[in-house]
Amino acid sequence: MRSRIEDVAAAAGVSMKTVSRVLNHEPNVREETRDRVTRAVEQLQYKPNLSARSLAGQRSYVVALVYNNPSRNYLMEVQSGMLEACRANHYNLVLAPVGCGKQRTADDIKGLFEYFGPDGVVLIPPLTDDNVVLTYLEEHEVPFACIAPRNPEKRIGVMMEETAAVLELMAGLIALGHRRIGHIKGPRTHGACQWRYAGYREALRKAGIAYDTGLVTQGEFSFDSGISGANRLLDLAEPPTAIFAANDDMAAGVIRAAGERGLVVPRDLSVCGFDDTPIARHIYPALTTVRQPTSEMGRLATLELLERIRTPGAGRMVHVEPTLLFRESTRPPSGR
Amino acid sequence: MRSRIEDVAAAAGVSMKTVSRVLNHEPNVREETRDRVTRAVEQLQYKPNLSARSLAGQRSYVVALVYNNPSRNYLMEVQSGMLEACRANHYNLVLAPVGCGKQRTADDIKGLFEYFGPDGVVLIPPLTDDNVVLTYLEEHEVPFACIAPRNPEKRIGVMMEETAAVLELMAGLIALGHRRIGHIKGPRTHGACQWRYAGYREALRKAGIAYDTGLVTQGEFSFDSGISGANRLLDLAEPPTAIFAANDDMAAGVIRAAGERGLVVPRDLSVCGFDDTPIARHIYPALTTVRQPTSEMGRLATLELLERIRTPGAGRMVHVEPTLLFRESTRPPSGR
DNA sequence: CTGTTAGCGCGTTCAA
DNA sequence: TTGAACGCGCTAACAG
CA-based nearest residue in chain A for residue B59? A51
Asked whether residue A193 falls in the same domain as residue A219, the answer is: yes
**Cβ–Cβ gap A55/B49 under 8 Å:** yes
**In whole angstroms, what is the distance from residue B167 CA to residue B205 CA?**
10
Asked whether residue B166 falls in the same domain as residue B267, the answer is: yes
Q: Write out which nucleotides of chain D lie closer than 7 A to a protein Cβ.
A: 1-5, 7-13
A128 located within any domain = yes
Could you check: is the Cβ of residue A57 within 7 Å of any atom of nucleic acid strand D? yes
pLDDT of residue A26: 84
**In whole angstroms, what is the distance from residue A38 CA to residue A8 CA?**
9
A18 located within any domain = yes
A33 located within any domain = yes
A53 located within any domain = no
Lowest model confidence (mean pLDDT) among A181-195, B23-37, B179-193, B315-329: B23-37
Which of the nucleotides lies closest to A18 (Cα–C1')? Answer: C2
Asked whether residue A132 falls in the same domain as residue A64, the answer is: yes
pLDDT bin (cut points 50, 70, 90) of residue B335 is low
**In whole angstroms, what is the distance from residue A242 CA to residue A332 CA?**
9
Question: For the whole model, what pTM was predicted?
Answer: 0.94
φ and ψ at residue A87, rounded to 5 degrees = -55, -45
Cβ atoms of residues B273 and B280 within 8 Å? yes
Long-range contacts of B40-49 (CB under 8 A, 24+ apart): B40/B8, B40/B11, B40/B12, B41/B8, B43/B11, B44/B3, B44/B7, B44/B8, B44/B11, B45/A114, B45/B3, B46/B3, B46/B4, B46/B5, B46/B7, B46/B8, B47/A114, B47/A115, B47/B2, B48/B5, B48/B23, B49/A55, B49/B2, B49/B4
CA distance A52 to chain B (A): 6
pLDDT of residue A336: 52
A327 located within any domain = no
Could you check: is the Cβ of residue A80 within 7 Å of any atom of nucleic acid strand C? no
pLDDT bin (cut points 50, 70, 90) of residue B31 is confident
Total of domains in chain A? 3
Cβ atoms of residues B132 and B105 within 8 Å? yes
In B 129-158, which Cβ lie closer than 7 Å to strand D? none
B-chain residues within 8 Å CB-CB of A115?
47, 50, 90
The pLDDT tens digits for B252-274 are 999 999 999 999 999 999 999 99
Could you check: is the Cβ of residue B17 within 7 Å of any atom of nucleic acid strand C? yes
Asked whether residue A191 falls in the same domain as residue A313, the answer is: no
Q: Which of residues 141-200 of B touch A (CB under 8 A)?
A: none
Mean pLDDT over the full length of chain B: 94
Q: Does B1 touch chain A (CB under 8 A)?
A: no
Asked whether residue B208 falls in the same domain as residue B288, the answer is: yes
**In whole angstroms, what is the distance from residue B280 CA to residue A252 CA?**
12
Domain that holds residue B127: 58-157+293-319
Could you check: is the Cβ of residue B50 within 7 Å of any atom of nucleic acid strand D? no
How far: A289 CA to D16 C1' (Å)?
A: 66
- Of all residues in chain B, the percent with pLDDT exceeding 70 is 99
B-chain residues within 8 Å CB-CB of A249?
282
Q: Does B50 touch chain A (CB under 8 A)?
A: yes
CATH number at residue A40: 1.10.260.40
pLDDT of residue B15: 87
Could you check: is the Cβ of residue A50 within 7 Å of any atom of nucleic acid strand D? no
- Average pLDDT estimate for B172-181: 97
Asked whether residue B261 falls in the same domain as residue B149, the answer is: no
Asked whether residue A204 falls in the same domain as residue A121, the answer is: no
CATH number at residue A167: 3.40.50.2300
B328 located within any domain = no
- Average pLDDT estimate for B216-222: 97
DSSP state, A117? -
Asked whether residue A195 falls in the same domain as residue A116, the answer is: no
**In whole angstroms, what is the distance from residue B83 CA to residue B303 CA?**
11
Cβ atoms of residues A230 and A240 within 8 Å? no
pLDDT of residue A2: 82
The pLDDT tens digits for B107-117 are 999 999 999 99
pLDDT of residue B32: 87
Asked whether residue B77 falls in the same domain as residue B131, the answer is: yes
Cβ atoms of residues B333 and B242 within 8 Å? yes
B211 located within any domain = yes
Asked whether residue B249 falls in the same domain as residue B260, the answer is: yes
How far: B333 CA to D12 C1' (Å)?
A: 77
Show the low-confidence residues of chain A (pLDDT under 70): 335-336
Handedness of CA A76, A79, A84, A85 (dihedral sign): positive
Protein residue with the closest CA to the C1' atom of nucleotide D13? A17
**In whole angstroms, what is the distance from residue B100 CA to residue B288 CA?**
32
Tell me which H or E stretch contains A250: helix A248-260
B115 located within any domain = yes
Asked whether residue A282 falls in the same domain as residue A170, the answer is: yes
A329: Cβ contacts below 8 Å, ≥ 6 apart: A251, A255, A265, A266, A270, A271, A272, A285, A286, A287, A288
How far: B15 CA to C16 C1' (Å)?
A: 14
φ and ψ at residue A297, rounded to 5 degrees = -65, -40
* Mutation for A interface: B45, B72, B76, most A CBs within 10 A: B72
Asked whether residue B288 falls in the same domain as residue B167, the answer is: yes
The pLDDT tens digits for B147-170 are 999 999 999 999 999 999 999 999
